[in-house]
Amino acid sequence: MLAIVAPGQGSQKPGFLAPWLDLPGAEARLRWWSMLAGVDLVHLGTVADADEIRDTAKTQPLLVAAALLAAEQLPMAEVGVVAGHSVGELAAAAMGGVLTPEAAITLAAARGREMAAACALEPTGMSAVLGGDPDEVLTAIEAAGLYPANRNGSGQVVAAGSLDGLAKLAAQPPARARVIALQVAGAFHTPYMAPAEQALGTIAGGISPGTPNKIVLSNRDGAAVDHGPALLQRLVRQVTAPVRWDLCMATLAAIGVSAVVELPPAGTLAGLVKRELKNEIAARGIQIFTVNTPDDLAAARDAIARHGAAHSHEPAPQFRVVVAPVAGTFSPNTDLDEGAQLRAGQAIGHVNTRDGATEVTAHDAGVLVEWIAHDNDPVAPGQPLARIGGHL
């Protein structure tokens, strides 16, 4: 199985989209998306300098547009898993069939504008904490009155919050850890972004999301989300919630992904995957590919042809399936028999993991037609657990 991943802020480089404009229709596509975003994506991706594309109001739609522009050159129907880091989640949602490209670009632009506005309300920032004992790092971040905004695995945690708190953390770093200030506008993925989350939620309320046509992983907990409205809600809430890229990578390993392709501007996520999954790479030969220019598309297409497999959450039009959100062992509710009438949101069981039980719910009302997984069955994220029919 192959996963495609889309990067987030900090991965952009001046001029990184210039080679893509040579592709037929690419510039027209960017011009159309620029109208939706309210920023000139062609300018930003070709001639804008580093300072200009560091502006989060411009960076966010630029990154989503870059990922989707490249994805349109690939056989996405054969891709089984998609994921994105921070704003890259919007690109992943579009690749997974939950959002249209136009909706993803519009949301990215609104997200960027509203987060920029939230940053202006109070001086805040972010610092990377590299190395150290993971528990000690989190304790130090909390002691400084900060939040762990990004947990990227491989000894990388990003702390965010007040400038005083960041200064305190830098002065008293965790043992064997380095603290590096990041050049960002504010404390992303923390409660400081609450006004942005509220504004984005209002806009997202006008979108009708689709049903995922592949496994879509969530930054909240690395879970596979098989319900469009639930994923859209997660995308909105992620503005104030920490990015758990470490858990997304753990899910990639649990699923048994054999290849990962990172879309432009590529390199950051590929590096994290290489470091975090080095044991799996050595044992199973997981291959990592980066797509930065059209010259990289041939290798990506070949990887998809060799590792890809279409994944659908709907085996037949008249049925829906409930899938496992995480890896573990499944425990169905013992009071539910096949033929039972289910209501939307009703719990049908749990997936038990080392970190506790994760509830599994029916996202739609209907009849429990069939248990696909049974008590104590090991399950992977995205694996079908039960089939629901009727009232869909």
Catalytic residue numbers read: 86, 189
Q: Is 382 helix (H, G, I), strand (E, B) or coil?
A: coil
For 17-33, letters b (16+ CB in 10 Å) and e give bebbbeeeebbebbeeb
Listed in sequence order, the DSSP H helices in the chain are 26-37, 41-46, 56-71, 88-95, 101-119, 134-143, 163-171, 194-204, 228-237, 245-255, 268-276, 278-284, 297-307
Contacts of 314 (CB under 8 A, 6+ apart): 211, 320, 321
* 23 phi-psi bin (left φ>0, alpha ψ -120 to 50, beta other): beta
In whole angstroms, give the CA distance from residue 226 to residue 224: 6
In whole angstroms, give the CA distance from residue 214 to residue 192: 33
